[in-house]
A and B are shown apart, each in its own frame.
Chain A
Amino acid sequence: MGMSDDEIKAAMIEKATKAPKPQLYVKDFYKCDPDSKARKIKNLANELVKEGELMFWSSGSTTMYARPDRIKDEEGDEGVN
C-alpha cells in the first residue's frame, strides 16, 4: 500500500526544511513518493501553500517552493520572465 496524502505532505515538509537551499522546484518533491504521479505531488505542494506550510517563491519566469521561516523577502535571482 502506498503512502497516504498526509504522509507525503509530511515528507515534503521535511524535505523543504532540511534541503541545503531554501527554495525547491516542484520536481524536487517527486522523490518524496516516487509512486505518485507528478500532478499529484504538484497538487499536494499547492495544498501545503494554502495551509501555510510552504510558500511560493517566484523569479518571474520560474516558481519555486520554500518554508516560510527559511526565506526572507526581497531576495533576487537572475532569471528572466
Chain B
Amino acid sequence: MAKHDTPMLDELENGPWPSFVTDIKRQAEKNPDCWDILGQVELSYKDRITHWKHGGIVGVFGYGGGIVGRYSDVPAQFPGVEHFHTVRVNQPASKYYSTENLRALMDLWEKHGSGMTNMHGSTGDIVLLGCRTEALEPFFYDLTHEMGQDLGGSGSNLRTPANCLGESRCEWSCYDTEEACHHLTMHYQDEIHRPAFPYKFKFKFSGCPNDCVAALARSDFAVIGNWKDDIQMDQAAVKEYIAGNIPSNGGSHAGKDWGPFDIQAEVIDLCPTNCMWMEGDELKIDNSECTRCMHCINVMPRALRPGKVRGASINIGAKAPILDGAQFATLIIPFIEVSADNEFENVIEVIENIWDWWMEVGKNRERVGETMQRVGLPTFIQVMGLDPIPQHVREPRSNPYVFWQAEEVPGGFDRDVDEFRKRHAA
C-alpha cells in the first residue's frame, strides 16, 4: 500500500519502457523504507530541487572510498531515507558472475540495505543503493568475509578498473584484458581504497581498437589492444565474401534486403586512410597507412584479422563528466607489450610516471587530461620521457613559432648575445 501520493512519478509508469518507479514500488512491498524514496523524489519534482544532501564522512574503517554518502534534507517527512548511502562493489573482471553469487549478494543487500541496486555503474561497479550508516560496517564484514568480495573506488582514488571480455570470448583481443585488469586491480589496492590523487583516475582495458569498454572516451588511462605488423589476410575468404558465400558483418545485415555485398562501397571506400584497393580479385592493404579503425575486419572477419605481433596502445586523458567538458584520450604510446609474464611492468612503469607527475602538478579536482591540456602536449611528452612521434600530431602546425628548449640551443639561453651579434648582425 503506497505511503505517499506520487501522481507525477506514476505518470512515468505509463510509457512503453520499464520504469524505475514500478521497480521501487515492487521493492517497497518487501522493504517499506522504499516508499520514502518515492515520496522524496515526488517532492523533488514538485519543488524542482534535489532533496539529497551529497557527501559526508561515511565509510568503513581504513577505507577512503567505495561508499558515497547520501542524506535526506527532509528526514522528518521521509525517515526511511534519512541515510541512503551508496555502496560500490568491485565487479569481477569482464562481469562474469554465477547466479549463486548474485543471489548471495542480493540476500546480503536485502539484509543490510534497501535491496535496490544499479547494475552497473559507469565505472563497472555493482552499485548498491541505500544503506544506513550503522549498517555499513556489518555489510562490509559480510561482503569481505563471506563473499570474498571488496569495495570499489570512489572519491580521489583509483576507480575500479574495468575491461572488455577480451580473450575469454573474442578472437580479436590483442592481449589478455582480464588478466591485466585483475593484476592491476590487485597491484593497486591501496590506491583504490585510499585517496591518492588530485581527483579521480580511471583505468580501462580494451582488447582491440573496437574498444568495447569505451576506454578511449571514458578513462584517464586507456589500454587498447593493437598490433604492429600487417593485418592477416585470407584472399580465398575475401573472394567468398565477394561472391556472397560468406555473409558480411557476421550476418548482422541479413534482416532486410541490403543487396549483394559490395566490397568497394562497403569496405574500400569507407577506409578512413584510403589504404585499401583491389588488384584484379585480390584485396591489397598498405598497412603503413592503416589507423586501426577495425572497419574492414568487422565487415569481413573470416578474411581479415589483427596482425600477429600484438600489444596495446596507451591513450591518456579522457573524461566524460556529466556537466561539461567531455574529451577523448590522446594517443601517447602507439605500441607497448602487455604481458603477464613480466607482471605488466611496462604498463606499470607508464602509470607510475604519470601519477608521480600528476600528483605534483595537478590542481585539486583536475583530471589528468585537464592537466595535460593546461601544460600542453609537448611538456607532457617531455615529462613522460618520450620522443615526439608523428602520431602525437593531430594536424599540421598553424603558427610559425618554434619553441626551443635551452638544451637544444648551443650555449643555452644564457649565451652572450653581444658576442653572437658580432658575428650575426640583427
Contact = CB atoms under 8 A, between A and B. Distances in A.
Interface string A1-44: 00000000000000000000000011100000000011100100
B54 interface: yes
Nearest to B358: A38
A76 B57 contact: no
A61 B134 CA distance: 22
Interface of A: 25-27, 37-39, 42, 46, 49-50, 55-63, 66, 71, 73-81
A39 B195 contact: no
Interface size class of B (residues with CB under 8 A): 35 or more
Interface in B47-97: 53-59, 62, 64-65, 67-69, 71, 73, 86
| B-side interface mostly | loop
A75 B359 contact: no
B113 interface: no
Contacts of B355: 39
Given A75-B53, A76-B53, A76-B55, A27 B198 contact: yes
A71 to B, nearest CB: 6
B56 A74 contact: yes
A80 B198 contact: no
B56 A73 contact: yes
Nearest to B365: A62
Contacts of A50: 62
26 contacts: A25-B198, A38-B359, A42-B195, A42-B196, A46-B194, A56-B57, A57-B55, A58-B55, A58-B57, A58-B59, A58-B67, A58-B155, A59-B155, A60-B69, A60-B86, A60-B154, A62-B155, A62-B156, A62-B365, A63-B154, A73-B56, A74-B56, A75-B55, A77-B54, A77-B55, A81-B54
B40 interface: no
Contacts of A26: 156, 195-198
Contacts of B62: 49-50
Contacts of B53: 74-76
A26 B198 CA distance: 7
Given A39-B359, A74-B71, A81 B154 contact: yes
B390 interface: no
A56 B55 CA distance: 11
A2 B71 CA distance: 44
A49 B64 CA distance: 9
B54 A76 contact: yes
B157 interface: yes
A10 to B, nearest CB: 21
B35 interface: no
A56 B195 CA distance: 9
Contacts of A25: 156, 198, 364
